[in-house]
């Protein structure tokens, strides 16, 4: 084992890798609670049961996707990076595809499955470098920041801090409301721990908020701590139902846009995370990422696995940097992280009583972390600033990640062309320009 992961060469030990893997798990564990609430549309009242995914099944699918994905990354690519269903992608899945477009969640899972298969093909070919280079870095930064704002907006909504208002669309909620006060407490305690650089602060913040919620009777006390694993049957294999029962629904421009969005966000989120974490761990060589193809392959295999179990796109987590900071340098840490996600399957009674008010601070904090890419955008270049700003602002305002991406990808070729910088625009961008114009004509 030590030889396979090159412990001696990288100057690490089992102890460091185990602590690093545990730290990464604690930093990521909030997804076990957030994802089931997100995909079940728990905060949306009066929805037909057919639009809601089963929370117990999604919890199991989330844990299994995270476990398998982390194991793939550790064994195949040998990187200390944990994987799980991605924030932002799960919001797009639930609130845009299912809630806004009215597409069945089973078909949405098919979209995730297709994006994973395409990702596998790209990972096994040289096309991945072509696509990475085709999308300008400025738009990648804008997409990340826009998703961050969208997630933050969801967090404020879930907390009751921001509510609907007929005259102004949104306004400040009732801050004296018990559940809202609980969410505010959770946000404050999590911010304090983040500022104090406590590893796993988001997870610990949720635990502290849950305990306080139980003490003040805002959250039910679980009858037991450990129990049998919930059934994954309600979601397992649902991604294949549409393929066999209604293949015609997959031959639409809307479904194509859904697949492209899942693929785009996962592809570049993964690439950015890999570079950032590998650089932090000192694994970069001549500014290049060793085993990049294997890492992307592991990520794409995890997405296909997750879709099969019944969850939104699985992706690499930037929270893995916490594990690297704790000493992790090899894929053995990812194996530890994966094993802990499997162990978490037996603690569903505790995790399933947690409410959206408890998870709201996690959404807000993750949003804060994601908007850090704003500083990398060339705001002084107006031809860059316009598509970047429109990408960022339209995601929360239209309640759609796909719409934000589409608007940004339409304006970028236009502003660059009009500013005399057309040679800097890759031909693929013009192709995407046409696709998204058709998207607005025939879908929106």
Q: Residue 287 pLDDT > 90, yes or no?
A: no
Give the residue extent of every domain in the chain: 7-442
223 pLDDT higher than 60:
yes
**Token duo for residue 237:** 């294999």
- What pLDDT, in 10s, does the model give residues 142-170? 887 888 898 889 889 889 999 989 899 99
Residue with the larger pLDDT of the pair 57 and 321: 57
Q: 57-71, 265-279, 330-344: which range is least confident on average?
A: 265-279
**What rounded mean pLDDT belongs to the chain?**
87
**Residues 299/77, Cβ–Cβ less than 8 Å:** no
Minimal CA–CA distance to 81: which of 334, 303, 339, 366? Answer: 334
State the Cα–Cα distance between residues 378 and 391, nearest whole angstrom.
14
Confidence class for position 114, pLDDT limits 50, 70, 90: very high
User: What is the pTM for the complete model shown?
Assistant: 0.77
Q: Where is pLDDT greater, at 183 or 280?
A: 183
The model's pLDDT over 312-357, given as tens digits with 9 standing for 90+, comes to 999 988 778 778 877 888 999 999 999 999 999 998 888 778 888 8
The label of the residue with tokens 């970069």 reads 284
The residue among 300, 298, 303, 299 whose CA lies nearest residue 313 is 303
Q: Report residue 215 CA to chain centroid gap.
A: 31
Name residue, tokens 């995270």.
Answer: 66
Q: State the pLDDT at residue 144.
A: 79
Distance CA 328, CA 335 (A): 11
| pLDDT (average), residues 38-49 | 90
Percent of the chain past pLDDT 70, that is, above it, reads 94
Write the burial class of residue 316 (CB in 10 Å: 0-12 exposed, 13-18 middle, 19+ buried).
Answer: buried
The model's confidence at residue 100, banded by pLDDT at 50, 70 and 90, is confident
């Amino acid at each position: 084992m030590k030889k396979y992961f090159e412990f001696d060469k990288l100057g690490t030990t089992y102890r460091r890798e185990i602590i690093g893997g545990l730290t990464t798990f604690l930093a990521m564990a909030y997804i076990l609670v957030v994802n089931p609430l997100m995909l079940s549309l728990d905060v949306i009242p009066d929805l037909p049961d057919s639009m809601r995914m089963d929370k117990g099944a999604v919890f199991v699918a989330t844990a299994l996707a995270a476990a398998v994905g982390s194991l793939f990354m550790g064994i195949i690519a040998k990187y200390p990076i944990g994987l799980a269903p991605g924030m932002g992608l799960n919001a797009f899945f639930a609130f845009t595809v299912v809630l806004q477009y009215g597409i069945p969640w089973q078909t949405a899972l098919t979209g995730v499955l297709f994006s994973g298969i395409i990702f596998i093909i790209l990972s096994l070919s040289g096309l991945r470098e072509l696509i990475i280079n085709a999308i300008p870095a400025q738009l990648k930064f804008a997409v990340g920041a826009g998703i961050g704002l969208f997630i933050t907006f969801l967090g404020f909504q879930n907390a009751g801090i921001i509510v609907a208002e007929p005259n102004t669309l949104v306004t400040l909620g009732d801050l004296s409301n018990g559940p809202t006060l609980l969410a505010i407490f959770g946000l404050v305690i999590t911010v304090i721990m983040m500022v104090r650089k406590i590893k796993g602060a988001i997870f610990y913040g949720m635990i502290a908020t849950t305990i306080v919620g139980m003490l003040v009777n805002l959250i039910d006390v679980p009858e037991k701590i450990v129990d049998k694993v919930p059934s994954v049957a309600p979601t397992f294999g649902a991604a294949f139902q549409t393929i066999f029962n209604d293949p015609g629904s997959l031959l639409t421009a809307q479904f194509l846009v859904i697949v492209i969005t899942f693929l785009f966000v996962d592809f570049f989120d993964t690439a950015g995370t890999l570079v950032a974490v590998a650089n932090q761990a000192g694994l970069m060589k001549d500014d290049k990422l060793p085993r990049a193809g294997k890492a992307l392959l592991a990520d794409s295999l995890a997405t296909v696995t997750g879709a099969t179990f019944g969850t939104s796109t699985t992706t690499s987590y930037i929270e893995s940097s916490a594990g690297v900071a704790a000493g992790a340098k090899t894929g053995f840490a990812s194996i530890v992280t994966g094993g802990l996600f499997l162990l978490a399957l037996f603690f569903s009674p505790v995790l399933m009583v947690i409410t959206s008010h408890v998870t709201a601070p996690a959404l807000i904090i993750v949003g804060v972390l994601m908007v850090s890419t704003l500083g990398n955008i060339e705001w002084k270049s107006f031809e860059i600033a316009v598509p970047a700003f429109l990408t960022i602002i339209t995601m929360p305002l239209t309640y759609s990640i796909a719409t934000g991406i589409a608007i940004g990808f339409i304006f970028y070729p236009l502003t660059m062309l009009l500013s005399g910088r057309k040679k800097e625009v890759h031909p693929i961008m013009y192709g995407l320009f046409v696709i998204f114009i058709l998207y607005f004509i025939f879908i929106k």
